[in-house]
Amino acid sequence: MVCTGMLASMTKIRFRLVAVLALLAVVLAAASPAQAAEEKKQAAKHGTKHAAKKKAKPAAAEPSAPPTPTAQRLGESGAWSAYMAGDSAGRVCYLVGRPEKSEPAGAGRKPPMAMVTHRPSENVDNVVSFVEGYPLKDDSDVALAVGNKKFELFTKEDSAWARTADLDKSIVAALAKGRRAVVKGQPQKGSATIDVYPLAGFPKALALIDKACGIKR
């Protein structure tokens, strides 16, 4: 009984992980001109070949997946932008947030971001993820604090995720009511990073993707 439950749980986690990783290509495509310029700078530093390889990594999680459709911007509020992609049969809605402060300053990493994703055609919603912009330490957790609520997220490569759908919903509820989210990650080498996300615009961006994907609260 225990083994079967654990296996079912891990299968769900893997399913959700692959589903959301597929969206990263859309986020990069829909990034602001400033974001694109920053990525170009990093590509020049590390060599075009190497940068292109790293950028393509998320898509490699599901080699047989069809190309992700172009994203439509639904709107933005504060540090948060809302997007929708696909038609009604396979619609994906997600929001992307940027931190207002990151430490240590000048750390060699890609710009971090937070995401919440809905995929209603697959009965997947409120999937929370944080892209840290560097390879996270193996078997480490990322610590998320929203006010007095604390959450531990599991890690894979450069990203962190909630372990269950219920935890996803709890985190989204906390983000919608909070003022700031503080995310602490541990790279494979070097000091831990701390990102502070302002949450003033989060509820409005969340409402936009809820409406676009028919999510009721």
Name the helix (H) or strand (E) containing 36. Answer: helix 33-46
Across the chain, how many H-helices and E-strands are there? 6, 11
Name the token pair of 4: 């079967």
Q: What angle is formed at CA 65 by the lines to CA 116 and CA 124, rounded to 5 degrees?
A: 30
CATH number of 2-213: 2.60.40.1880
Alpha helices in 58-180 (DSSP H): 165-177
Q: 0.85 exceeded by the pTM?
A: no
**Phi first, then psi: what are they for 160, rounded to 5°?**
-130, 145
Per-residue pLDDT of the chain (217 residues; tens, 9 = 90+): 444 454 445 445 544 453 444 444 344 444 443 443 443 343 333 333 333 333 333 333 333 333 445 889 999 999 999 999 988 788 999 999 999 999 998 778 899 999 999 999 999 999 999 999 999 999 999 999 999 999 999 999 999 999 999 999 999 999 999 999 999 999 998 899 999 999 999 999 999 999 999 999 8
Q: Which amino acid is at 210?
A: D
175 with 151: CB under 8 angstroms?
Answer: no
Where along the chain do its domains lie? 2-213
Residue 5's pLDDT is: 52
